[in-house]
Amino acid sequence: MLSLALVVLAVVAVFGSFVLCVVTVARMRELPAWRRFLPLTLLLIALSASLLRAADIRWVAEAIAFPLNLAVVLLSTYEIRARRLRNRREAAKAA
Q: Does residue 80 carry a pLDDT above 90?
A: yes
Single pTM value for the model:
0.81
**In this structure, which amino acid lies at residue 6?**
L
Host H or E run for residue 29: none
pLDDT at 84 over 90: yes
- The residues, ordered by sequence, that sit 6+ positions from 53 with a Cβ below 8 Å of its Cβ are 61
Query: How would DSSP label each residue in 46-91?
Result: HHHHHHGGGGT-HHHIIIIIHHHHHHHHHHHHHHHHHHHHHHHHHH
Q: SS3 of 35, please?
A: helix
What is the per-residue pLDDT across 65-77, written as a single tens digit (0 to 9) for each?
A: 889 989 999 999 9
Residue 5 has pLDDT above 90, yes or no: no
Q: What is the pLDDT of residues 8-19, one digit of tens each?
A: 888 888 888 888
